[in-house]
Structure 1
Amino acid sequence: MRDVAKLANVSIATVSFVINDTKPVAPATRARVEEAMRQLDYRRNALGRALASKRTRIIALLYPALQRRLTETAVKFFTSAAQTAKDLGYNLVLWPISNEAGQVEELISSGFIDGVLLMEVQLDDPRVEPLQRSTMPFALIGRTRHPEGLPYVDVDFESSMIEAVSYLDGLGHRRICFVDSDSAEHGLSGYGPLVRTRSTFVEEMERRELLTAHISCANSPISGQAAAEKLLATAPDTTAVILMNDNASFGFTNGLNKAGLCVPADMSVLLIGSSPAIAAATEPRLTVMTLPSTALGRMGVETLIDQLEERGEPMRQALISCSFEEGQSTGPARVLEPGASRGFSRNCESHSYALSL
């Protein structure tokens, strides 16, 4: 540190202020100190910095890995959140613990972290209360049943589902099925995105006086194929499906193909809450409403760090809609002549659907 101070022509105390962020330093002076550190290959001592500032500059992202498998969209979120934290002078660590209040309390009392980001939020999430009782800054990626007074950013699943139904309705589809994940698959009672999307689907379909069907299945290709078979057996007049189950989408489209249906001539398929990469893994490429994973990661970290830096910003409560990308799996509803029985196109090409995980 003495060598850095000499090269930058400042006091040792000034170097300490720059390294530990304990006092403001003029931009020009800070630049000289950082350039001297670079020339001398001086590395910040994270432990020393934490002791000096009483801050670790580490934030924890709590992800219930035991209950929720990692997905491509989750990885995008982590990457964006970690980069934003780094840009703002913090380190982000992924903390894979269950959604239990006791484990959160242990983390809070450990002294390892400065703040917490919660993912996979339940409507009545047990992790929120211990955080509210503590002095630990936190933010939610998701919403509880009553999010008033809580800092959060979340996907606007309600408006995204309304847009999906509106799009299919505009194509003439009068009977639409919603295929989502089995609640047991999440291991999370009252999982916010699932509950909100299901509820909005029912409400919007009733408002438009459309016929509904609903199937839940495990998050796997085999379960998706079984869901397609169940749909054709129980609601054969369905002409469009909204899928909210990434891994089941591969098997679902395979199941339609095995039954002799053409997508989209016989059945339109729209994937919601996913990614273009998942949508492109089948043939034809699925129409998709993409999760705003990158924006969520960035905004979630910014929401937390605003508290840590005491910037005085208004508490952020933000909703972000999915972005719509039309693929080749949706088209006009097939119109049956009065009195005709349901039949399917048999002249479409045989497609193979590859699982890309």
Structure 2
Amino acid sequence: MATMQDVADLAHVSLSTVSYTLTGKRPVSPATRARVEQAMAQLDFRRSPVARALASRRTHVLALAYPVYGVSLGATLNEIVQGAVEAAREADYELVLWPVSSSEPEVLRELAAGRTADGVLLMEVALDDPRIEAVESQGLACALIGRSADPADRVWVDIDFEESLEVAVDHLVGQGHTHIAFVNRSQADLDAGYGPSVRALHAYEESMAQRGLTPVSTPCDVNPGAGRRATTALLAEHPELTAVIVMNELALFGVASALREAGRSVPRDVSVVGIAISGEISDMYDHPLTYLAAPGPDQGRRAVHGLLEVLDGRPAPAGVNLPCTLQVRETSGPVTRLTTP
């Protein structure tokens, strides 16, 4: 592996000149800079993170705080992470995982105190998320992939769940459905104030109420078995259902199992619409799933870009709600059987 001394020898400059070219601490003439950069390219020279940290007093590392315990990093969340990784690497940063949930702020406080990262990206954000204070109390900036109840002037990038649920309900009502259920994430998420679950539930209830329809919702753990049990219970209690909106990508597969076991054909008897999921999940469903596509990669990229602006001393960009895009495929269709009001 090439060293800075190798670059200096090939470019016929001093070691300090190579350092100044890399750090910008002192001016280097354009001709000299060109020779150094040509030598680095010829030697395929790459600075180590340690060398960058010593030169700039930055680690050039961003931490992604994500609660991996008891939570699946499914296809949809993986797209967010991938977008963040790509944006970080484009800026010559590395992204590391800190597996810390909102119930473990002291763990995150200790990690932040170690200064092994320049800033922190928080995923799975609760409306009142103690991780924010834990990070900022140690002098680190944070960016929210999601948003708290009061994100203030912090960097945040969220999905527009209000618009997404309105679009989903409108799509189904437009096909004649009036008995539409909503399968959410877990009761534990709702109790903890997990932002997406709370906002999506309120948006669904409001969209149904605006149309004079009765909302029927159920919490559901994030796994296929829970989806199967939740859907079986919904059908038993509300046999008139003709459509189900699901914001729980792993539960979707249990929803499909329960509908098959109940003899309900999709979409002839029951339409199914997924909320904030990836195209990969849609393709894995029994039939190509009608869904609102999550803006996952864009979420990750925007959060990283905003955090880097703050690290460079610029104001945080305004928070943004990104829309989901309706993809009508094979699991939604017109009502074909009579229902009782």
Same-fold call, TM cutoff 0.5: yes
The whole-number CA distance in structure 2 between the counterparts of 1:203 and 1:187 is: 17
Higher deviation after alignment, 325-334 or 279-288: 279-288
Question: Structure 2-normalised TM-score?
Answer: 0.91
Match of 2:149 among 145, 151, 154: 145
Distance apart, 1:30 and its partner CA: 4.1
> Is 1:317 paired with 2:319?
yes
Report SS of the residue matched to 1:211.
coil
Distance apart, 1:74 and its partner CA: 1.8
Report SS of the residue matched to 1:159.
helix
The whole-number CA distance in structure 2 between the counterparts of 1:307 and 1:341 is: 56
Report SS of the residue matched to 1:246.
coil
Distance apart, 1:157 and its partner CA: 1.0
Distance apart, 1:299 and its partner CA: 0.6
Matching residue of 1:205:
208
The whole-number CA distance in structure 1 between the counterparts of 2:31 and 2:299 is: 34
> Is 1:172 paired with 2:172?
no
Are the counterparts in 1 of residues 190 and 198 from structure 2 also a CA contact under 8 Å?
no
The whole-number CA distance in structure 1 between the counterparts of 2:295 and 2:330 is: 22
Distance apart, 1:207 and its partner CA: 0.9
Distance apart, 1:146 and its partner CA: 1.3
Q: Pairwise mapping of residues 1-357 of structure 1 onto structure 2 (< 5 A)?
A: 1-22=4-25, 29-99=32-102, 100-184=104-188, 186=189, 189-310=192-313, 312-336=314-338
Distance apart, 1:41 and its partner CA: 4.5
Q: Identity of aligned pairs, percent?
A: 41
Are the counterparts in 1 of residues 181 and 241 from structure 2 also a CA contact under 8 Å?
yes
The whole-number CA distance in structure 2 between the counterparts of 1:40 and 1:149 is: 44
Structure 2 residue identity aligned to 1:324: L
Are the counterparts in 2 of residues 17 and 25 from structure 1 also a CA contact under 8 Å?
yes
RMSD (Å), alpha carbons: 2.2
Distance apart, 1:193 and its partner CA: 0.4
Report SS of the residue matched to 2:222.
coil
Distance apart, 1:222 and its partner CA: 2.2
Report SS of the residue matched to 2:297.
helix
In the alignment of these two chains, the number of paired residues is 337
Report SS of the residue matched to 1:301.
helix
Distance apart, 1:139 and its partner CA: 0.8
The whole-number CA distance in structure 2 between the counterparts of 1:294 and 1:222 is: 28
Are the counterparts in 2 of residues 178 and 215 from structure 1 also a CA contact under 8 Å?
yes
Report SS of the residue matched to 1:4.
helix
Are the counterparts in 1 of residues 307 and 316 from structure 2 also a CA contact under 8 Å?
no
Higher deviation after alignment, 276-285 or 292-301: 276-285
Are the counterparts in 2 of residues 239 and 334 from structure 1 also a CA contact under 8 Å?
no
Structure 2 residue identity aligned to 1:228: T
Distance apart, 1:16 and its partner CA: 0.3
Structure 2 residue identity aligned to 1:16: S
Report SS of the residue matched to 1:127.
helix
C-alpha distance after superposition, 1:1-27 (max 9, x if no partner)? 344234335443331023345456677
Distance apart, 1:29 and its partner CA: 4.9
Are the counterparts in 1 of residues 61 and 95 from structure 2 also a CA contact under 8 Å?
yes
* Structure 1 runs of 4+ with >6 Å offset: none
The whole-number CA distance in structure 1 between the counterparts of 2:181 and 2:19 is: 62
C-alpha distance after superposition, 1:151-192 (max 9, x if no partner)? 1111111111111111111111111100112223x5971100
Structure 1 gaps, min length 5? 343-357
Report SS of the residue matched to 1:64.
coil
